[in-house]
Amino acid sequence: MLKNIDPLLSPRLLEALRAMGHGDDICLVNANFPAEALATGRPLIRLDGLSMNQVANAIFSVLPLDSFVDQPLLRMEVVGQPQEMAPVQQEVLALARQHNTPDLQMGSLERFAFYEAARKAFVVVATGDRRPYGCFLVKKGVIFG
């Protein structure tokens, strides 16, 4: 056990977060996402018993978001309604704002563009959340000395 570290951050997940460099992406996905197929050649960390909110909150507690890009947090667009934000997306944005900056904006990618971007992520973290459109790309930032 470690002090001041969310216990949901498994040793493997902590290792991946620490190994990521500035500008690397972590892909957070729900239970419906084809994580096994798209994480080929990339680390896949399964947290099947946890919700997206639990996992996102734990990750945002230690991961700085990239301040050099306009949208370090991207969501998968709702098919046919790209402007709509699903409840899980609104919740993750609120958590990201809580841990980072209150004016943080979330960008979006069309479903198949999201899949392509996910293939390039440093690590894929699959949650047990069953809610649709609970899929995100988070770009790691830096901690200034």
Tell whether 64 is covered by a domain. Answer: yes
Cα 97-91-40 angle, rounded to 5 deg: 95
Tell whether 3 is covered by a domain. Answer: no
Give catalytic status of residue 99 as yes or no: no
Q: Which domain holds residue 129?
A: 18-139
Tell whether 145 is covered by a domain. Answer: no
Give catalytic status of residue 22 as yes or no: yes
Tell whether 130 is covered by a domain. Answer: yes
Q: Which of 25, 66, 129, 133 is catalytic?
A: 66
Q: Which of 22, 24, 99, 133 is catalytic?
A: 22
- Quickly list H helices, 2-145: 11-19, 35-38, 52-60, 87-99, 111-118
Give catalytic status of residue 66 as yes or no: yes
What is the percentage of the chain residues whose pLDDT exceeds 70? 100
What separation in angstroms does the CA of 36 have from each of 23, 42, 44, 50?
23, 10, 7, 17
Q: Which of 25, 48, 115, 129 is catalytic?
A: 115
Q: The pTM is what?
A: 0.95
pLDDT tens digits, 81-133: 999 999 999 999 999 999 999 999 999 999 999 999 999 999 999 999 999 99
